[in-house]
Amino acid sequence: MVEVEALEHGFGLRPVLDLPSWRVGTGEHCLVVGPSGSGKSTLLHLLAGVAAPRAGTVRVAGQDLAALTPSARDRFRGRTVGLLLQTFHLLDTLNVFDNVRLARRLAGLPEDRARCREVLEALGVAEVARARPSTLSHGQAQRVALARAVVNRPPVILADEPTSSLDDESCERVAALIEAEAARHGATLVVATHDSRLHGRFERRLVLDAGGPAA
């Protein structure tokens, strides 16, 4: 479950988000749509607790993020949130497989190489498991970052433009995998996108306005 109340955020004098009340229940899938600059990524950053809102409350899986210290918030995110951001933050000192393995270690979960292989295969990037992230195409790196986001079977999956760099076949594969992973584990799924290929897919939708809320 993710839930916000009286949420406001902005940069400088410019308001970007104003959400009086919005909730995505356990097991629900919600698309966040809106033009470039409407605040989709900003909302996902707030839901993931990588940024703090100017005002209002963000609860994820029942936890008020503001009540956690920064290190507790990092631990909470590692265990609870599968996060795919627009920048992937893959570590180039590790190969693809070890980037995915690391997500389990950081969350304090036991080693599970079969699970790591399973998600890489499902996303069509098993053949680059030994490669360094910097040698991948953008679309491959995106799928590896998604593999890392879902490998721990998180109860909440947040994905920012997960299909933006993908051809139609990979787009279909990635969208189907995100939905299947979420459904298999009863996860709450929030996908921000302006990819019109995804627009018909989810039962719930939040539409953000161009240029943010009126000042």
Taking CA 61 as the corner, what is the angle to CA 56 and CA 64, rounded to the nearest 5 degrees?
30
| 40 vs 143 by CB, closer to Mg ion | 40
Task: Count CB-CB contacts under 10 A for residue 14.
Answer: 10
- 33/198 Cα distance (integer angstroms): 10
Task: Count CB-CB contacts under 10 A for residue 87.
Answer: 8
Question: Residue from 6, 11, 26, 127 that binds ligand ATP (CB under 6 A)?
Answer: 11
Nearest Cα neighbor of 146 from 132, 162, 167 is 162
Q: Residue 163, interface with ligand ATP (CB under 6 A)?
A: no
Question: 75 contacts which partner out of ligand ATP, Mg ion, none, CB within 5 to 8 A by kind?
Answer: none
- 116/120 Cα distance (integer angstroms): 6
Task: Count CB-CB contacts under 10 A for residue 95.
Answer: 18
Nearest Cα neighbor of 144 from 77, 90, 94 is 90
Question: 116 contacts which partner out of ligand ATP, Mg ion, none, CB within 5 to 8 A by kind?
Answer: none
- 206/74 Cα distance (integer angstroms): 26
| 41 vs 152 by CB, closer to Mg ion | 41
Question: Residue from 20, 25, 37, 108 that binds ligand ATP (CB under 6 A)?
Answer: 37
Site string for ligand ATP, 42-61 (x = CB under 6 A): x-------------------
Question: Residue from 2, 7, 16, 119 that binds ligand ATP (CB under 6 A)?
Answer: 16
Task: Count CB-CB contacts under 10 A for residue 18.
Answer: 18
Q: What are the CA-CA distances from residue 66 to residues 25, 77, 189 (Å)?
A: 20, 13, 21
Instruction: Report the nearest approach of Mg ion to the CB of residue 40 (Å).
Output: 5
Which among 38-46, 52-60, 165-173, 182-190 is the span making contact with ligand ATP, rule CB under 6 A? 38-46
Q: Which residue is nearest to Mg ion (CB)?
A: 41
Question: Residue from 3, 18, 19, 34 that binds ligand ATP (CB under 6 A)?
Answer: 34
Side chain identity at residue 210, one-letter code: A
| 17 vs 123 by CB, closer to ligand ATP | 17
| 97 vs 202 by CB, closer to ligand ATP | 202
| 84 vs 171 by CB, closer to Mg ion | 84
- Give contact residues for ligand ATP (rule: CB under 6 A): 11, 16, 34, 36-42, 194
